[in-house]
Amino acid sequence: MRDDHLGEDRHLGEDRHLGEDRHLGEDRHWGETVQGACRRPAWFRLGCVVIAVEVAALAVLVVVPRPAGHSRTATARLDAVAGGRADGGPSNVGRQAVAPTSTTLPPPTTTTAPATTVAPAPAPTTPASRIAAPPPRPTPPPPAPPAPAHGILPPHNPPANIAAQPNFLSSCSSSGDDNTSGCIDATVAAIDNARRVEGLPGMSLPSNWSALTPQEQLYVGTNLERTVRGLPALSAMATLLDQASAQGAATGADPSPPGGFPYEQWGGNWAGGVGNPLEAIYYWMYNDGPGSANADCTPGNSSGCWGHRDEILLSLTCTPCVMGTGFDDHGWEGQPSWAELLVGSSGSPALDFTWQQESAYLS
């Protein structure tokens, strides 16, 4: 630790009152008076001799050391050497000899005080036992596994309809099948927005989407809504179910399995007035509740609300689970018409398009 009082308050090292009050060292009146008096006329030479003798006697008294009991003069001389002027000027011997030792001699440690100002002592080191170690960083918990992206499944349904954002109706034509990129992109963007409400990822269409028929697109799009929620895809399009769905699209009615087709559970949907199958899927999945265009969901009868969504998300025991789809350009009041059948079947029905065929194009 640096003690600035020792380094700055140097009473002996820099207090030059003793060195500047030089009554004996610099007061040369005696020497000059003697020499001047000896230059007086001869008739006064005897007086000069007497004066010279007196001066010599006084000098002897000053030079002759005092007895041992008066040793402070020698001490004062040492102190004067240590505290004398660096420019070679006279020291403060005369003043030091008069002053009492107790007031002029510094404590022994003060002679080393200047050293403390030149090289300050290093800061004290804290004992190792008293050094506070930094607290260990808490180990972050392992990241939680992602929650299954199941969304909302029956018997639960969305709390309200989700308006299409963007409104794909302004990008799609209702005069026939609209497979343009503008219509597809706008509809997929609206589906992605609606899926976010359920915490689901967006829809990723297969790379061969534009090469699929409208019926195959409806089949693939419906399966994509099932698989994103953890439900199994319907394994194939069954020929008999496709025929039944085509009839529903042509007449503007919900289709049903043909007589004799084995099933355990089934559901059918229909939509008209939209030119792309993704538009129909959007209305069935995200705008099918009270206040929607769902004809089976009315203020007086809510039993059919969200019915199309429940059909797409049927929990089926697939042995196998198959599907049929239908499309008619002018099936409903001169406008496009769409229909689909989802069936939990048995046996080995004839198939015309499978999910396995399409899986190679899915990302």
DSSP 99-135: S-HHHHSPPGGGGGHHHHHHSPPPPPPPPGGG--PPP
What is the Cα–Cα distance from 238 to 215, expressed in whole angstroms? 12
Helix (H) or strand (E) holding 57: helix 45-63
pTM of the model: 0.61
- How far is residue 57 from each of residues 52, 139, 339, measured CA to CA in Å? 9, 95, 146
CA 131 to chain centre: 31
Q: Is 331 helix (H, G, I), strand (E, B) or coil?
A: strand
Backbone angles phi, psi at 93, to 5 degrees: -60, -50
pLDDT at 122: 52
* Cα separation values, 228 from 151, 192, 223, 225, 231, Å: 8, 12, 9, 6, 7
pLDDT in tens, the chain (363 residues): 444 443 333 333 333 333 333 333 333 333 333 344 444 444 334 444 444 445 454 544 444 444 444 433 333 333 333 333 333 333 333 333 333 333 333 444 444 444 444 445 555 444 443 445 555 665 655 544 444 558 999 999 999 999 999 999 999 999 999 999 999 999 999 999 999 999 999 999 999 999 999 999 999 999 999 999 999 999 999 999 999 999 999 999 999 999 999 999 999 999 999 999 999 999 999 999 999 999 999 999 999 999 999 999 999 987 899 999 999 999 999 999 999 999 999 889 999 999 999 999 998
SS3 171: coil
Q: What fold is seen in the domain 168-359? A: Pathogenesis-related Protein p14a (3.40.33)
Domain-wise residue ranges, the chain? 4-117, 168-359
